[in-house]
Each structure stands twice: as C-alpha cells, then as structure tokens.
Amino acid sequence: MRIVVNDIAASSGGALTVLRSFQQYIVENDKENEWIFLLNDKYIDETENVRINILGKVKSNWLNRIKFDLHSGKKYISSLNPDVVFSLQNTITFGLSYPQVVYMHQSIPFQKIKKFSFFRSEERKLAIYQYIIGEIIKKSIKKADKVIVQTKWIKDSVIEFTNIASHNVIDVFPNFENCSEYKKDNLFEKQNFFYPAAKLIYKNHQCIYDACEILEKKGVSDYKISLTIEEENTVENINYLGELSFESVLENYNTSTLIFPSFIETVGLPMLEARQMGTIILASDCPFSREVLDGYANAYYFNPFKPNELADLIVRVLNGEIVRETIDELDNKNTDCWQTIIDIIIKAGKNNN
C-alpha cells in the first residue's frame, strides 16, 4: 500500500518530535507499505520503504500553506497515486479523491475558555489559529474519512464543534516517556514550587505572578517558584531557570510541587510526567487536567483566572495541609499509539480498494 504523509508544516518543537517518532516507528516495524513523506526540509532519513519529497516553498508563508491545502495540493498528491493520505498537520488536502486520515492535535479552535483578539498584538497569532486556521481544521474534520485525536476531551469537543459522527473520531493517547524510574523518595521540600513551560499567553505565567502578589500582601514569603523562562519580572519569590534538560525537569518533580496554570492544552505533558513521579500537582481546573489527573490522589485544582485560588493552595502546601501522598505508579497508557494509528490508516486505504 502506498501512503502519502503530509507534514509540510513541521519544522520545530513538538511537531518535529512527533514526525521523527512516527517515522522511527515505521522504520522499525513496517516493511510492507510504501511511505512518502511531504516535508519542508529533510528532517528524517529515507529508507527502503520511506521516501521524502521536499516542498519548502509551501512552508515559506501562511498563504502558500493555505493555497496548497485548498487548491494546488490535490494535483501534486494525486500525481503520487496514493492508496490513502495521512495528514500529521491537522488539515486535509481539499479536492482529493483518495481517502484521508487526519491526526488533529491543535486544541486552540476547540476550547471555550479563551477568545483571542486580532486587535491585541500578543494574541493575533493565536486568534489566527482560533478563527482562520481553526475553520479550515473544522472543515477538514468534516470531510476526512477518519480523524485521530489524542484525548477524550478533544474528541468530545471536536464532535460538539463539527457535529460529525462519533465513530469517525478516534482518541489514541500519545506515547510518553516512562518517568517513574527517576522517582526518588524523601527529596520533597514543601517550600519549592515548579512550572516548566514556554512563555506563551495561554501558559498563564501571569496567574503565578498575581498569586505571588497576593501572598506578599498576606505576609507569606517562605517559598520559591522556579520557572523555565528567562527573567521577565522582578518578583522576589520567582526563580528564573531558563530552558532545562529533561533530567533537570525530573529532578524538580522530585523536590517540588508542580504548578500548572495553563488553560489551553491537548494533554499537558508536565502533569503526566509529574504524576509518574508522585508529585503534588496544583492544576488549572480544565478538561485536559481532569482527564490526565483522573484518579490521582496528589492533584488539586484551581480556576486559572483566579490567582487567589492558586495562592490558597500554595499556603495549604506550605502549612502541611496538603501533603505528598505515597501512591502507586501511573497506569501505563502506552499501548503503541503509532501502531494503532497505522492500523487506522491502512484500514481506511483498504476500504477504498
């Protein structure tokens, strides 16, 4: 079977990690099918059954990307004569007569907690994702043969926003690294708090700053919150660490309480990692948090837009009202997500033959 994988958008960060993880799984586990990856640069290696076609101009700007998805892409992909097309970038290629499977991992258009504004410069790019790219994603979902998402809450939201049949949306929890082997006992210090996140609006660092201000007014000062961003605010109780290695992040889970005020995530990987380490987690009360932390004894929730609730939880940790419970390891949800996804792709291709 010939499978075309469209991931022209991938160039850095999580998208590139997903691409490389998927290709590596194919190299190690699938010798029967022919895979043609459409990319904007040579981020992966070719093998006997993996071919790479570079389409750098498509990635050069948003307009070219949209043109490819809506118009020119159908001619190019049709020339490859695929049995099925798999998109790793949230959208289908419109106008194709071949079956298409979409891996949808963009939560911004499917959340209700925040409406971003085109009139605020710091929100403009997110507004484009929410309203313009979001509409293309929703139309893609309606036309795709199958849609794969990472979590149950996203599946429910996709169905609500697009009104498509539930059997056309399949939730496949993503693979994640087993962190439990790094867990060490008796290192926890209740005055230490930690938040590993990039500086993005929805990561909501402002909630932490506001909580610190509330605590200062209450005379609470014996604590330290470590952030993995460069210094941007002179708050006495904030420790700016900059980007950390994965090992250093895990060390902080052993010694600290995780604060997670982000209000837009698909999964929320730090919570998944910290759960395996037995860390106390103070999490935003959002659907993704509730799903990832379901049944976890060390999880506590706050409204991400009410920093007083976060401040109250910090005080409860400091005075010993919230303690780090000894718990069993996280149930292993890793069931080879890529094999499940490949099976879905192949089934869609066979249904067309």
Q: How confident is the model at residue 177 (pLDDT cuts 50, 70, 90)?
A: confident
When pLDDT is cut at 50, 70 and 90, the band that residue 270 belongs to is: very high
Pair 85, 98: CB distance under 8 Å: yes
**Backbone φ and ψ of 102, nearest 5°:** -115, 130
CA distance 279 to 188: 9
> How far is it, in rounded angstroms, from Cα 286 to Cα 269?
14
Sign of CA dihedral 138, 139, 140, 144: positive
CB-based contacts of 248, cutoff 8 Å, min separation 6:
none
Is the confidence at residue 314, as pLDDT, over 60?
yes
**pLDDT of 216 above 90:** yes
Q: What angle do CA 39, 43, 49 make, to 5 degrees?
A: 75
Look at residue 353 in the predicted model and tell me its pLDDT. Answer: 62
Q: Which of 58-67, 105-114, 164-173, 238-247 is the least confident region?
A: 58-67
d(Cα 211, Cα 128) in Å, to the nearest integer? 30
Select the more confidently predicted residue: 27 or 69.
27
What percent of the chain clears pLDDT 70, i.e. is strictly above it? 97
Q: How high does pLDDT run on average in the chain?
A: 92
Q: What percent of the chain has pLDDT over 90?
A: 80
Better-predicted residue by pLDDT, 66 or 331? 66
CA distance 29 to 222: 52
Phi, psi angles (nearest 5°) of residue 54: -90, 125
Kindly state the tokens that stand for 22: 């998927």
pLDDT, tens only, 141-159: 999 999 999 999 999 999 9
Delineate the domains of the chain, giving CATH numbers in brackets.
2-175+335-351 (3.40.50.2000), 180-318 (3.40.50.2000)
Instruction: Identify the band that residue 181 occupies on the pLDDT scale cut at 50, 70 and 90.
Output: confident
By mean pLDDT, which of 60-69, 197-206, 263-272 is the weakest?
60-69
- The pTM of this model reads 0.90
